[in-house]
């Protein structure tokens, strides 16, 4: 007897439906074909033990299992339940054999029949809905994640026995209810940290507010202990909340990586990823023989924080250039090519010199000017070209540290950021793929960043007098546009240009190029 069950394989952040054909005939052999890897081949032993321990059996006949399409490699242990249900249906141990084919069924089996969680439940459920399946059956730990998808019934099971009784009609499984709206409507400032904790550094906080308001990449330069990391960790507290579309995109990436919180099933806050400077280029960008998302994709719709930037390998930093420009990572292999989203905000921090101090020609203990320049030049011009704001972070004097007066809270700053983002959303509603000022192309920058004669004169003077490079030109316009949005001004004024020029300190005098 021939029975078909259906599972799913994840490639990139999308799923592909896998048809598992089970045929039982005369003989006593077991065939598993369709390009399975070793983990899939070992499913025979796991299935056999799980069925015996739950009062069922693998029939002593010839069992042929084909996993189609046969030219796609099937990897992992998540097909255990799919294959087991096919064997039971084909051997008439399940009464409603036809109903088995109406569901996507996935789950790894323990030897006692308990179902263990799988990776990629969200993209698998989205694919099941798209292809018109009646529902999806998954391990209980994956049910909340899958239930995010509206329009398809999701069942979470603890063990194989519950699934068998469900198809035999002797017991029922409770559909999982979606909690997506509840999760997204929770208070977003539940971070445990706040800009209220930061003493002094008003100029830095202002620059980070601009970065958050326009989605700009930013680098902070300052000596050790000046608060660069502390400030960076508080940036998520002033960013806008994730929209439903952004939350689903981000959750898909975390799901296929196997790092999703199964208690909530949804990434409801913007990610903050901070890889160590010893990270490899594959770990940062993604890849491997079976491609997986890297840190920059895990930071999608959030922040990628690179502390001690010059300590990263040059090759690792250079692979950032294309994702920063295209906001997508393409991993190509001989038989497959996958795309991972990479729309993140880069926040970097570094010391101003090997000794950690700013260059001072009057100091005998500091590094020489040529040593400072060599240190700064570890970051290439093309990479720095993609960073909009350069911020000098000075140590906080004792008077400010001991000041009892609190500064602005993250909630207060965030209100201004949200207003500026709303202005940008309305301005770019007809521009495809543009949501904030940082994403503007040169053509759109010219269209939306118009300045008056006073601004033009100031820009010309800055380019000539301060030794600013040509690469600074477009960046200054975009940052000025964001400053004007925070000021709720329709037009960019000369004072907005003047403030934006202050944030190009590393371009002055050609230190980076």
At residue 345, φ and ψ (nearest 5 deg) are: -100, 120
Is 461 a member of any domain?
no
Torsion angle defined by CA atoms of residues 146, 149, 151 and 154, in that order, rounded to the nearest 10 degrees? 10
CB 219 within 8 Å of CB 349 = yes
At residue 285, φ and ψ (nearest 5 deg) are: -90, -30
Encoded tokens for 252: 């898909």
CB 65 within 8 Å of CB 21 = yes
**Residue 9, SS3 per DSSP:** strand
Nearest CA among 395, 479, 482 for reference residue 201: 395
pLDDT digits (tens, 9 = 90+) for 96-119: 888 999 999 999 999 999 999 999
Segments of the chain scoring below 70 in pLDDT = 181-190, 334-335, 359-366, 471, 508-513
Query: What does the pLDDT read at residue 513?
Result: 41
Is 240 a member of any domain?
no
Is 219 a member of any domain?
no
Encoded tokens for 11: 């490639």
**Among positive and negative, which fits the CA dihedral 490, 495, 498, 502?**
negative
Query: What does the pLDDT read at residue 207?
Result: 96
Number of domains the chain contains: 1
Query: What does the pLDDT read at residue 184?
Result: 65
- CA 442 to CA 474: how far, in whole Å? 7
Axis crossing angle, helix 494-502 with helix 453-465, rounded to the nearest 10: 20
- CA 359 to CA 368: how far, in whole Å? 7
CB 347 within 8 Å of CB 305 = yes
Beta bridge partners of 31: 64
Three-point CA angle 250, 182, 136, nearest 5°:
65
Strands, E assignment, 94-208: 103-105, 108-109, 115-116, 135-139, 153-157
For 458-476, b where at least 16 C-beta lie within 10 A, e where not — what string? bbeebbeeeebbebbebbb
Is 404 a member of any domain?
no
- CA 139 to CA 265: how far, in whole Å? 13
**Residue 49, SS3 per DSSP:** helix
Is 287 a member of any domain?
no
Neighbouring residues of 479: CB distance < 8 A, sequence distance ≥ 6: 210, 214, 216, 388, 389, 437, 500, 503
Query: What does the pLDDT read at residue 291?
Result: 80
Is 173 a member of any domain?
yes
pLDDT digits (tens, 9 = 90+) for 39-92: 899 999 999 999 999 999 999 899 999 999 998 889 899 999 999 999 999 999
Query: What does the pLDDT read at residue 362?
Result: 55
Instruction: Give me the domain span that covers residue 136.
Output: 2-178
Question: Which residue in the block uniquely carries the two structure tokens 């008003």?
Answer: 202
CB 129 within 8 Å of CB 152 = yes
DSSP secondary structure code for residue 240 in this structure: P
Give whole-number Cα distances, 139 to 21, 223, 262, 364, 384, in Å.
Answer: 22, 50, 11, 66, 46
- Read off the CATH number of the domain in which 102 is found: 3.30.230.10
pLDDT digits (tens, 9 = 90+) for 193-207: 899 888 888 999 999
Is 363 a member of any domain?
no
Give whole-number Cα distances, 488 to 206, 388, 440, in Å.
Answer: 16, 21, 19
Query: What does the pLDDT read at residue 399?
Result: 79
Query: What does the pLDDT read at residue 306?
Result: 96
Query: What does the pLDDT read at residue 378?
Result: 81
- CA 418 to CA 488: how far, in whole Å? 12
Question: Which residue in the block uniquely carries the two structure tokens 């972070």?
Answer: 393
Cβ atoms within 10 Å of 392's Cβ, excluding its own: 17
Cβ atoms within 10 Å of 389's Cβ, excluding its own: 23
Encoded tokens for 364: 């005998």
- CA 260 to CA 76: how far, in whole Å? 18
Nearest CA among 237, 143, 144 for reference residue 182: 144
- CA 242 to CA 179: how far, in whole Å? 15
Is 95 a member of any domain?
yes
Neighbouring residues of 358: CB distance < 8 A, sequence distance ≥ 6: 223, 352, 366, 392
- CA 448 to CA 104: how far, in whole Å? 48
């Amino acid at each position: 007897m021939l029975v078909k069950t259906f599972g799913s394989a994840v490639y990139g952040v999308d799923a592909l439906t896998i048809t598992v054909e089970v045929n039982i005939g005369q003989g006593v052999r077991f065939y598993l074909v369709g390009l399975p890897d070793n983990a899939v081949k070992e499913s025979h032993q796991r299935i056999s033990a799980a069925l015996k321990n739950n009062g069922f059996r693998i029939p002593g006949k010839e069992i042929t299992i084909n996993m189609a399409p046969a030219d796609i490699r099937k990897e992992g242990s998540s097909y255990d339940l799919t294959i087991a249900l096919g064997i039971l249906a084909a051997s008439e141990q399940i009464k409603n054999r036809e109903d088995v084919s109406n569901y996507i069924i996935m789950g790894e089996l323990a030897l006692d029949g308990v179902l263990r969680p799988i990776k990629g439940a969200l993209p698998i459920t989205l694919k099941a809905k798209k292809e018109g399946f009646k529902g999806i059956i998954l391990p209980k730990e994956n049910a909340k994640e899958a239930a995010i998808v509206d329009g398809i019934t999701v069942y979470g099971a603890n063990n194989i026995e519950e699934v068998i009784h469900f198809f035999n009609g002797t017991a029922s499984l409770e559909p999982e209810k979606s909690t997506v709206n509840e999760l997204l409507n929770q208070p977003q400032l539940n971070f445990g940290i706040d800009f209220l904790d930061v003493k002094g550094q008003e100029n830095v906080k202002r620059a980070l507010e601009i970065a958050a308001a326009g989605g700009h990449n930013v680098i902070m330069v300052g000596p050790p202990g000046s608060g660069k990391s502390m400030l960076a960790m508080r940036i998520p507290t002033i960013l806008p909340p994730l929209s439903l579309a952004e939350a689903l995109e981000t959750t898909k990436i975390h799901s296929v990586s196997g790092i999703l919180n199964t208690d909530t099933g949804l990434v409801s806050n913007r990610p903050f990823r901070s890889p160590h400077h010893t990270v490899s280029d594959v770990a940062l960008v993604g890849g491997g023989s079976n491609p997986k998302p890297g840190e920059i994709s895990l930071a999608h719709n959030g922040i990628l924080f690179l502390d001690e930037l010059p300590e990263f390998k040059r090759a690792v930093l250079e692979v950032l250039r294309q994702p920063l420009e295209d906001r997508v990572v393409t991993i190509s292999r001989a038989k497959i090519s996958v795309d991972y989203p990479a729309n993140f905000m880069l926040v970097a921090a570094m010391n101003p010199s090997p000794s950690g101090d700013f260059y001072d020609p009057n100091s005998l203990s500091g590094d020489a000017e040529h040593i400072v320049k060599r240190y700064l030049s570890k970051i290439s011009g093309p990479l720095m070209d993609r960073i909009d704001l350069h911020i000098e972070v000075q140590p906080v004097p004792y008077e400010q540290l001991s000041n009892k007066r609190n500064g602005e809270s993250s909630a207060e700053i965030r209100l201004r950021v949200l207003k500026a983002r709303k202005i940008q959303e309305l301005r770019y509603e007809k521009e495809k793929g543009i949501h904030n000022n940082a994403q503007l192309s040169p053509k759109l920058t010219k269209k939306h960043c118009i300045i008056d004669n006073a601004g033009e004169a100031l820009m010309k003077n800055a380019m000539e007098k301060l030794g600013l490079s040509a690469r600074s030109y477009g960046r200054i316009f975009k940052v000025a546009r964001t400053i004007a949005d925070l000021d709720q001004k329709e037009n960019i004024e000369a004072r907005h240009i003047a403030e934006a020029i202050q944030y190009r300190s590393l371009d002055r005098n050609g230190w980076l190029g």
